[in-house]
Structure 1
Amino acid sequence: MITILIVDDHAMVRSGMRLLLGGKDDIEVVGEASDGDEGIRAAESLRPNVVLMDLSMPHGKDGLTAAAELKERMPETAVLILTMHDDDEYLFRAIHAGAAGYVLKSAPHEELLTAIRSVAKGDAYLYPTATKRLMNEYVERMKRGESTDVFDTLSEREKEVLALAAQGYANKEIAEQLVISVKTVETHKSNVMEKLGLKTRPELIKYAMKKGLLQFD
């Protein structure tokens, strides 16, 4: 069962989403929130698989800020942005904030359901024209000589976990150093390995050495 938290400042949107998702056998809406601050509190309490997050919320934290904070606190939870903004700037900022997906409110219901199921199993989801834009942006960055290194997509916390893991610290020791849970460490490490295409610890150590992350006292 995929558990969902809906974060949107419009009660009618939340009701509509609950009605749509409530009829699916594999999806359960476990809560709602009207702004980013409330959404973060609800997510930490309910521990949903997916947070369906609006971008523009006038009160409290906006969707981008809340998404970034959620990914820092709960990396195992996927944040799916649901917005009316079909805009490159918002799209790239959402990805940078750690969102697992980006869907327009104008999209067909089936597309939203596909996106939810995709991010719930650990995949990323972008609506078709957004994927094309990202590909074009990647090509343009290469032409301009800008970085396309996957390492740049890691969050600062993921880089810290990568460095400590490469130095030989156990998950419990990393958790104590960074003041986070062991489960969070495990999730960060899994995300790092997946993003970087690494399969073994020796590969991780070799990569960390290449990036100059190994610092021994």
Structure 2
Amino acid sequence: MEILLEKTDASVMARNSKFQSVLIVHDDLQVTERLRSVVSVLEPRARVLVARSCAQAREILARSSCSLALVGMDLPEDGGVSTILHLREAHPHMERIAVSALPDTQRVRAAVSAGVAGYLLTDALDTELVFLLRSLERGGAAMDPRVARCVLERMFGTARRAPASSSTQVPSAAAETEAPKSVLSVSELKVLNLIAQGWSNRQIAEAFYLSINTIEFHAKSIYRKLAVKSRTQAVREAMQHGLLN
């Protein structure tokens, strides 16, 4: 009787698990396999589906339902945000977790605005990822502490600067010089620094465990924001504005 009770409790827990059916939307194979492994720790019998783009995610969800989606924020052309927005509108019952290599302030803000229940960083230990995701079953948010701090600092900083925003101020020359730095995201600044050191896109991709397409997307975004057309011009512009570490 006692053994049967234990089995029944286990089956009930499994049916209630948020990890019974999980969709991973990411274009990096290493990250995808790692997330699959983390999910298997949470639920050994989980059904894990994989999409490499928002379009593939839509195709999968047209014929299958999932309770949780782990969405890569490093997908090219803001594919991560687009996917999260689509999931929120078309599949509101599904929990949505953003996954990224870096705590990029702009992407964190975009993900939170799009409607996520958490934000994970891929450089965290597997045990940390498991712990954070498990908090979903307790009604919590699977938020990496570094991302949480980023969100809190932005909230505090916005509140602290609010009174000054009511008056019209002429930006100083120093502020104008630093303008490009505020435009580039954290990820773009890191890529830009490595470009300045002579790293190729493939080397940068391998260092950050991202696809080369993602790094090329960052590079094009850097060129556009700095109004340049080549690596040499980008480095020269970065040096003029003090963007390099």
TM over 0.5: yes
Q: Which runs of 5+ in 1 are unaligned?
A: 147-217
Which residue does 2:230 correspond to in 1? none
Cα 1:23/1:141, change in 2 over 3 Å: closer
Asked if 1:31 is matched to 2:53, the reply is: no
Q: Is the 8 A contact 1:50 1:116 kept in 2?
A: no
CA distance in 1, matches of 2:64, 2:137: 15
Higher deviation after alignment, 38-47 or 91-100: 38-47
Q: Return the TM-score normalized by structure 1.
A: 0.59
Aligned to 1:77: 94
Matched-pair contact (CA < 8 Å) for 2:38–2:129: no
Cα shift readout 1:41-84 (whole Å, capped 9, x = no counterpart): 3234322111011112238x711111011111111111111111
User: Residue 49 of structure 2 aligns to which amino acid in structure 1?
Assistant: G
- Residues 41 and 130 of structure 2 are in contact (CA less than 8 Å); yes or no, is this contact kept in structure 1? no
Return the match for 1:138 from 134, 155, 159: 155
Q: Measure the CA separation in 1 of the matches of 2:34 and 2:142.
A: 22
The aligned amino acid for 1:14 is: T
Q: Which has the larger radius of gyration?
A: 2
Corresponding pairs, count: 145
For residue 87 of structure 1, what is the aligned residue in structure 2?
104
User: Match of 2:7?
Assistant: none
- Larger RCO, structures 1/2 (Cα 8 Å, 6+ apart): 2
Q: Which moved more, 1:41-50 or 1:66-75?
A: 41-50
Choose between structure 1 and 2: higher helix proportion.
Answer: 2
> 2:144 corresponds to which residue?
127
What CA distance in whole angstroms lies between the structure 1 residues aligned with 2:76 and 2:151?
28
The answer as to 2:88 corresponding to 1:67 is no
Q: Which residue of 2 aligns with 1:50?
A: 68
1:89 aligned partner, one-letter code: Q
TM-score (norm 2): 0.53
Whether the 8 Å contact between 2:42 and 2:130 is mirrored in structure 1 is no
Change (3 A) 1:142 1:13: closer
Distance 1:139 1:13, change over 3 A: closer
Q: Distance in 2 between matches of 1:121 and 1:14?
A: 25
Measure the CA separation in 2 of the matches of 1:43 and 1:126.
Answer: 25
Percent same amino acid at aligned positions? 21
Paired position in structure 2 for 1:18: 36
Cα separation, 2, equivalents of 1:48 and 1:74: 9
Cα distance per residue 1:58-115 (max 9 Å; x no partner): 38x7111110111111111111111112211111111111111111110111221123
